[in-house]
Structures are given as C-alpha cells and as structure tokens.
Amino acid sequence: MSAKSNLITADADAKVRAITAASDAGIITFTFADNLPSITINSADFSDAMRAEFLVHGIIQKIRDGAALPKGATLVEKRDAMIAILDTIREGNWSKRGNGDGDSPVSGLIYRAYRQFIVETCAAKSIAAPDEVKTRAAYDARDRAAKLALRTNPAISAIMETLRRPSTSVANVDTDALLAELGA
C-alpha cells in the first residue's frame, strides 16, 4: 500500500516548512523543503510488538482526529465525527470525501445554530431546553432537505453568521502578510 501526505509545521522562527510523508511497502520517507536530508524508516526494522504499538497509536490518533471540530462543537458532535471515521475505516477506506452528489452530511454549523436557537428560545420562554441527545436525535431524524432549509430561517441564519465570525484571537491577523510568507 502506498500513501502520501503533506504536513505543515512551524519552526522556532515561525517560518513554515513543508514536510511530505510517503509510504510504500512498509518503507516510510519524510522529505523536507529547503533540501534538508530526508528520513527513511523501514517498518521491518521493528519487532512485531513495536509494530502492534504503532498500529494502536495510529488508530487512536486517526479516530481522535475526528474530534478536532470547530470551537463550539459539542461532545455529541465530536463523538459522532469519531464514529463516522471508524465506520469509514471499517468499510475499508482510510478517508471519506463527499462525492458531489448532494448526499454528503449536512454541515455541523447548521446543527450548532439549530441547537443554540432551541436553547435560547427555551430560555426566553423560561422552560427547560431538551438535552443535547434529544436535540441531536430530533435533528438527525430530519431529511437532508429539511436540515438545509433551516439555513433560510432568519433566526438560524443570524446565529450561523455569529458562529462563522472569527474569534478576536484571529481577527487581528494580517492574512495578506501571512499568505505572502507562505508563498501565495
């Protein structure tokens, strides 16, 4: 099996360097920008026990990556994303991308706005909001068209705009300068 990925890391000087990782037949090679010497690792150089540890670590990391959702994502959303990755792996695929046919999952942003709307509406009426699990179940019971239609509701749309706004920690970043530093 052959695989290739691009990684970006920042060094102490805050310069960004590209690192490419490729694997073929158990040989892993990390290639660096700036003509730095590459690193090559042969998995056959390690014991079966060590390779088993690598496997477990890789599975943990791959599944955990699913929880890396935008700020404000709920534990239910994070767990759902982790389960989706596990399901994809169990289907024999390393990753799953939308196929452009309109059947891809509806954005988590819509759900987060829907959940916030419910919580705020219930608070305004001085009633208890349904818990996260019940809210998620009600949302998931809707078809794709209904979920997408929520975007057209003025209250949901306004919440979505608020959720889309960058945090103050990134609002002051000169993105033109950043892109220029990255060679764009």
- Confidence band (pLDDT; 50, 70, 90) for 169? low
Number of residues written out for the chain: 184
The reply to whether 86 falls in a domain is yes
More confident residue, 81 or 155: 155
The reply to whether 54 falls in a domain is yes
**How many independent structural domains does the chain possess?**
3
Domain range holding 127? 108-167
Query: Which residue among 96, 124, 156 closes a domain?
Result: 96
Share of the chain above pLDDT 90, in %: 25
Q: Which range, 67-71, 85-89, 114-118, 146-150, has the best average confidence (pLDDT)?
A: 114-118
List, for residues 32-60, the tens digit of each pLDDT value.
888 889 999 999 999 999 999 999 999 99
Residues 8 and 40 in one domain: yes
Residues 156 and 127 in one domain: yes
pLDDT over threshold 80, residue 165: no
The reply to whether 33 falls in a domain is yes
The reply to whether 180 falls in a domain is no
The reply to whether 142 falls in a domain is yes
The pLDDT score that the predictor gives to residue 1 is: 47
What gap in Å lies between CA 117 and CA 171, rounded to an integer? 25
pLDDT over threshold 90, residue 104: no
Q: What is the mean pLDDT of residues 90-101?
A: 67
Residues 115 and 157 in one domain: yes
Residues 71 and 119 in one domain: no
Residues 114 and 162 in one domain: yes
Which whole-number Å values give the CA distances from 68 to 4, 56, 64, 72, in the listed order? 21, 19, 7, 11
What gap in Å lies between CA 163 and CA 116, rounded to an integer? 10
pLDDT over threshold 50, residue 13: no
The reply to whether 174 falls in a domain is no
The reply to whether 182 falls in a domain is no
DSSP per-residue codes, 17-62: EEEEEEEETTEEEEEESTTPPPEEEEGGGS-HHHHHHHHHHHHHHH
The reply to whether 118 falls in a domain is yes
The token pair that represents 50 in the structure block = 């060590």
Average pLDDT, the chain: 80
What gap in Å lies between CA 37 and CA 9, rounded to an integer? 16
DSSP secondary-structure letter at 94?
A: S
The pLDDT score that the predictor gives to residue 170 is: 60
Residue from 148, 131, 160, 153 nearest 70 by CA: 160
Q: Tell whether the torsion through CA atoms of 174, 180, 181 and 184 is positive or negative.
A: positive
Which whole-number Å values give the CA distances from 145 to 46, 108, 128, 155, 171, in the listed order? 51, 15, 28, 18, 33
Of 87-96, 132-141, 161-170, the range with the lowest mean pLDDT is: 161-170
